[in-house]
Amino acid sequence: MFSKGKSFNAFPFRVIYLLEPELFISKKPKAQNDSTRLQFGVGASSRNFKKAVDRNRIKRLAREAYRKQKNELETLLIERKIDLAVFFIYNGKDLPDQKTVNEKIALILQRLMQMVHESNT
């Protein structure tokens, strides 16, 4: 995914994504509910955050914001039968608050939905 995927920045996140990743997702047989259409990961650098507690907090905040807001993107992927693998990397220097993370994740998901719309037209 990191070598073939595309990326964009939405500070403080860097987003790497791969639409229709045949080698990444399609190895597993598709389930009846199409739950494998969307795969997600998140990371934070130990260069900026030396303590694992801080890195884990950032990842927990990002996962929670993503979990609450992913439904619209997931529905779009199922409708269009497109697979998406996405990875968020937190590049900021300071610990974020929940409000900031929620806003940025919403912006990122809107941009991903726009890319899905463009890829299918």
Structural domains in the chain, sorted by start = 6-119 (3.30.230.10)
Give, for 76, the enclosing helix (H) or strand (E). helix 71-80
Q: Tell me, what's the pLDDT at 120?
A: 66
User: Residue 36: its pLDDT value, please?
Assistant: 67
Q: What is the pLDDT of residue 27?
A: 55
Q: In this predicted structure, what is the pLDDT of residue 40?
A: 95
List of residues 6+ apart from 91 with CB closer than 8 A: 9, 11, 12, 13, 14, 45, 48
* pLDDT tens series, the chain, 121 aa: 778 889 999 999 999 999 874 444 455 555 545 566 899 999 999 999 999 999 999 999 999 999 999 999 999 998 888 899 999 999 999 999 999 999 999 999 999 999 998 886 5
- Chain position carrying tokens 């899905």: 116
What confidence score (pLDDT) does residue 81 get?
A: 85
